[in-house]
């Protein structure tokens, strides 16, 4: 990776964009280094020179994209929002906004989340379980949130788990039908949060 990171940033971005687009289009198994090299306008040997293997390149891209999304949320989060559901919705909006700006990142991460190839699936589970925003999202969302609005018999931690399950199920549905309708995703998620607020608040 050191040789790749020593390249001019424009060259790095060219290779990254080509790899993201190719993996997003064909998936991990069907993507070849030759496909990526051709899209980036460099030789196959140079891709191997920079990354070693297809697997190393793929996992590097996953880690890079996940970190970019996390940084976007941290830098733009509005601490003045105290309502728990409003904070969750705001965080989701930040993530979707980043995905809309960089469509290859969006489709790549969506496909990577559901990638089941034996060569990478265990590493992907580790990456997403630690860095997919759940731990970060809960930390940002819970710290400074107003829990006094909840009914006395409602556990906010359980509510967050329910929201995780809803998000995962809807993303799975979108992956199955091959769509990336961010507006629809946001509106449906917003309706779910409104329903939660109506039923869980005093």
Taking the complete model, does pTM exceed 0.95, yes or no?
no
CATH architecture of 2-200: Orthogonal Bundle (1.10)
Statement: residue 136 has pLDDT above 60: no
Residue of higher predicted confidence among 178 and 45 = 45
Question: What are 49-91's pLDDT values in tens digits?
Answer: 999 999 999 999 999 988 887 777 777 888 899 998 998 888 8
At 99, the pLDDT band (50, 70, 90 cuts) reads low
The pLDDT of residue 47 is 96
Count of H-run helices and E-run strands, the chain: 11, 0
Distance from the Cα of residue 196 to its chain's centroid: 24
Least confident of 73-77, 135-139, 152-156, 182-186: 135-139
Q: What is the chain's mean pLDDT, rounded?
A: 84
Residue of higher predicted confidence among 100 and 157 = 157
Please write down the HEC assignment for all residues of 20-48. HHHHHHHHHHHCCHHHHHHHHCCCHHHHH
Q: Whole-angstrom Cα distance, residue 199 to residue 135?
A: 25
């Amino acid at each position: 990776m050191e040789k790749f990171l020593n390249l001019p940033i424009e060259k790095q971005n060219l290779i990254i964009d080509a790899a993201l687009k190719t993996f997003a289009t064909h998936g991990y198994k069907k993507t070849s280094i030759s496909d990526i090299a051709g899209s980036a306008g460099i030789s196959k040997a140079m891709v191997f020179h920079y990354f070693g293997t297809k697997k190393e390149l793929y996992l590097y891209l996953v880690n890079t994209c996940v970190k970019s999304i996390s940084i976007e949320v941290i830098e733009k989060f509005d601490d003045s929002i105290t309502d728990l559901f409003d904070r969750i919705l705001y965080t989701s909006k930040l993530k979707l906004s980043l995905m809309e700006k960089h469509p290859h990142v969006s489709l790549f991460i969506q496909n990577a989340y559901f990638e089941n190839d034996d060569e990478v699936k265990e590493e992907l589970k580790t990456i997403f379980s630690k860095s997919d925003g759940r731990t970060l999202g809960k930390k940002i969302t819970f710290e400074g949130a107003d829990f006094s609005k909840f009914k006395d018999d409602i556990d906010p931690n359980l509510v967050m788990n329910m929201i995780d399950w809803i998000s995962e199920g809807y993303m799975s549905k979108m992956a199955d039908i091959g769509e990336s309708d961010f507006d629809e995703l946001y509106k449906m998620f917003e309706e779910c949060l409104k329903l939660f607020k109506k039923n869980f608040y005093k």
